[in-house]
Chains A and B, each alone.
Chain A
């Protein structure tokens, strides 16, 4: 498949020693949603910063839509849309004025710009608020506006840097819907960074796990999860006798008893195990009342590659800020 972004040993070193991005060589395919998953400080934003020409690389090179990010930065900026982590819209202008302002940066003819702005406002249901000043918008409305500001120039590539950071769960799900929707409607490649596992899982075609400035692995979320070989099957049997017979099927697996007549078994791949399991149970007349399959999440994948859990990272941040608050109070 055709690559739209290629990087070759792309590196960014800050203040002579901090390697924010360390020799990244990646290829991003045209039309895909490419996710970058990593904890805060992994180098995601610096990586995106270089691809969007805001940060100058220390070494290595990269092309975006066939254009060199250093030598042809102005041309690159014409072809991309950016939705940065921070809010960028002007609070004193209306939603419409913000979109109009950005459209003028791209020399889009007035009629075309107006048509596109209307279409985008409709897409995220901001049409009837478009002539209100942005300072009156809710957090979710501002994020939606940010999303379409990044699309005003009809970009080939859209960069979404932590698009749902700080949003509540409902608003986050709503943003996911808008992102899926725009992908359906527009011919655009999306680069998405996030430290929310569910977000990457829900939206990305392929994901790279990033930590300490390096990409540790890249694949589809499904392949990554399957590669863990760590599915859990939890079975509740009808009686202790059924349990005794049923248990024999898993003589080679790690298993433990949990609750009354309930067995939790670790298997490498539940999709392959299940047909055999059903055949065995029916031929031995084993009766069961409940069966649950638990596939690994991206967190297990993350744990495997980085040696720590992304959820712990989030918790760690929260604990740290609680600590700071505690100190401030004292």
Chain B
């Protein structure tokens, strides 16, 4: 894949030169933390699975949602490249078709990790903000980063697959708007399962956003995990890994078969 490294660095140069996209990408999650965190500051702690405050509870969800939203835009960027012309250049170059798509996926994953670092820092300095009461080990951070990366890979692959076939900007934005609210609210990203209606609960447990949110939440709240917590985290990460791997393989196969001009 001779095009993968140059194309990924192109994406990162563009990102670095347009800091607006970094800032706008952070504003919304920051509002989640600041507004939800203070508005629901008196949320009964009994529902918070042991978290000292609501911000500590939702940070896992906010990081997951940030990952999903930024990842979805890697598909949009493929359509932009098609509309603005660079895609035509790449398609007539001797590079693998899949390297065009994976450069978007990998660069968006990198961007997400930067956003995640900034958001964690922001949540920590807020009054009554994120607190690691039971410590935060190297293992815990590995779980956090893995969950965020896997979720990023899932949604960037999914939207890339759509963008390989779809040529209209309106279509992909339509899909994006259609799925983003259910993805957030029919999941354990913002609210504990205990306060959810039964039917939402039964869907939310199959939402990858829930798996990632819960995995991150468990390590942030508990620090050192008990055996059953460890098993749960392991299971969530396993689901995420299986889904991410299948979608990456599918993305590879579909993009190699041809990207619409």
Majority SS at the chain B contact face: helix
Of all A-B residue pairs in the complex, the 8 with the closest CB atoms, nearest first, are A88-B89, A104-B6, A77-B94, A105-B93, A88-B85, A82-B92, A78-B94, A92-B14
Interface string of A62-96 (1 = CB under 8 A from B): 00000000000011011010101011111111000
Of the residues B3, B18, B90, contact of A92 by C-beta under 8 Å: B18
> Is B84 a contact of A91 with CB atoms below 8 Å?
yes
- Ordered by A's residue number, 20 sampled pairs between the chains whose C-beta atoms are within 8 Å are A49-B261, A54-B88, A54-B91, A55-B261, A82-B89, A82-B92, A84-B88, A84-B92, A86-B88, A87-B84, A88-B86, A90-B86, A92-B14, A97-B13, A101-B10, A104-B2, A105-B90, A106-B93, A106-B94, A133-B17
Instruction: State whether the Cβ of B253 lies closer than 8 Å to any Cβ in chain A.
Output: no
Instruction: List which B91-122 residues lie within 8 A (CB) of chain A.
Output: 91-95
Residue of A at shortest CB range from B92?
A: A82
Closest-by-CB residue of B relative to A161 is B88
Contact B89–A102 (Cβ < 8 Å): yes
A262 sits at the interface (CB 8 A): no
Residue of A at shortest CB range from B261? Answer: A54
Q: Kindly list 20 other residue pairs between chains A and B, CB separation below 8 angstroms, not including A88-B89, A104-B6, A105-B3.
A: A54-B261, A55-B261, A75-B94, A82-B89, A84-B89, A87-B84, A87-B85, A88-B85, A88-B86, A90-B10, A92-B14, A92-B17, A92-B18, A97-B13, A101-B7, A104-B5, A105-B93, A106-B93, A107-B2, A149-B89
A52 at interface by CB-CB < 8 Å: yes
- Count of chain B residues near A, Cβ 8 A: 23
- Do residues A102 and B13 form an inter-chain contact, with CB atoms below 8 A? no
| B13 CB contacts on chain A under 8 angstroms | 92-93, 97
Q: How far is the CA of A86 from the CA of B89 in the complex (A)?
A: 10
Q: Which residues of A contact B85 (CB under 8 A)?
A: 84, 86-89
**Contacting residues, chain A, for B89 (C-beta < 8 A):** 82, 84, 88-89, 102, 149
Of all chain A residues, which has the CB nearest B91? A54
Query: A133 to B258, alpha carbons, bound, how many Å?
Result: 30
* A226 contacts partner chain B, Cβ-Cβ < 8 Å: no
How far apart are B11's CB and chain A's nearest CB, in angstroms?
A: 10
Q: Which residue of B lies closest to A49 (CB)?
A: B261
Please give the distance in Å from B57's CB to the nearest CB on chain A.
39
Residues of chain B from 133 to 175 with CB closer than 8 A to chain A in the complex:
none
CA distance A77 to B94 in the complex (A): 5
* Cα–Cα, bound, A90→B2 (Å): 19
Which residues of chain A (277-293) have a CB below 8 Å from chain B?
none
| Chain A residues with CB under 8 A of B95 | 105
Instruction: Assess whether A101 is in contact with B6, with CB atoms less than 8 Å apart.
Output: yes
The answer on a CB contact under 8 Å between A53 and B10 is no
Q: Which residues of chain B are within 8 angstroms of A80 by Cβ–Cβ distance? A: 92
Bound CA–CA A101/B90 (angstroms):
10
Docked complex Cα distance between A133 and B18 (Å): 13
- Collect the chain A residues with CB atoms within 8 Å of residue B258's CB: 56
